[in-house]
Structure 1
């Protein structure tokens, strides 16, 4: 199955660093949370990633980033099954990979010139992190005809 899409928008919802709490000699605990949402009126899927980096339970970095992927009308038809849409887990992992890569770039660019620029977002296993298709029911939302 091929879902035609276009990477249409990036939004940095939140970004903060706390370089005074950063110690290059200590381990960094990183948390990555992913969330998906669908805006069927604009036919896009949003992937939101929230990244928190901490040392000794003190936050040193937070980033909340949204990437928007416009889905072509034929893409919506491809994933429609009777009265619902099923976004395949493989596609979710794919757009999550793009979003996490974008987050790495944002972190690098926004920490340039600070001690936190040495922080590299560690790999994230998307196969473990995203395990199910995303089901959208037409009963739950007002779906326009495509």
Structure 2
């Protein structure tokens, strides 16, 4: 895959999912520190040329989660761009790190909005997903096996 191809990707946001949203009935104590764990996952549906980015954020106090949010963005990628990511011989789909980071940043922003909507008018609304650089969570190109993912359809 050439660097030019990686920079010129035609895609659209085709769907948003709230895969998990668990909220505690009680707000954590204001005077105690809160820890946040974040994670990313990527999946593909080769037949539909869809890529799903799943962003997870867990807020904990004393190692007990009080907010868990998992939100996904499903991106439809045009065939020419999709083919630039495919290595048919190795049966691999390689998403360049900068583009994966861009999609991850979009997904984190979406999760931020979902969390706000789900906690609006509750004591948990003061907890927001930090505006950090989510792209830094991705250390290298995202490589997915086509065999492993071809039969895993996304909503």
**TM-score (norm: length of structure 1):** 0.87
Cα distance, 1:115–1:128 mapped onto 2, change above 3 Å? same
CA distance in 2, matches of 1:138, 1:16: 32
Deviation at 1:135, TM superposition (A): 2.4
CA contact under 8 A between 1:19 and 1:116: conserved in structure 2? no
Structure 2 gaps, min length 5:
1-6
Deviation digits for residues 107-138 of structure 1 (CA, Å, limit 9, x no counterpart):
11110111110112123333431011122445
Deviation at 1:78, TM superposition (A): 2.3
Of 111, 117, 136, 1:109 maps to 117
Cα distance, 1:34–1:25 mapped onto 2, change above 3 Å? same
CA distance in 2, matches of 1:15, 1:71: 27
Deviation at 1:16, TM superposition (A): 1.2
CA RMSD of aligned residues (A): 2.0
Total equivalences in the alignment: 143
Structure 1 residue 122 corresponds to structure 2 residue 130: yes
CA distance in 2, matches of 1:126, 1:6: 20
Deviation digits for residues 25-57 of structure 1 (CA, Å, limit 9, x no counterpart):
322100011000111011011001121101112
1:90 matched to which residue of 2?
98
CA contact under 8 A between 1:19 and 1:114: conserved in structure 2? no
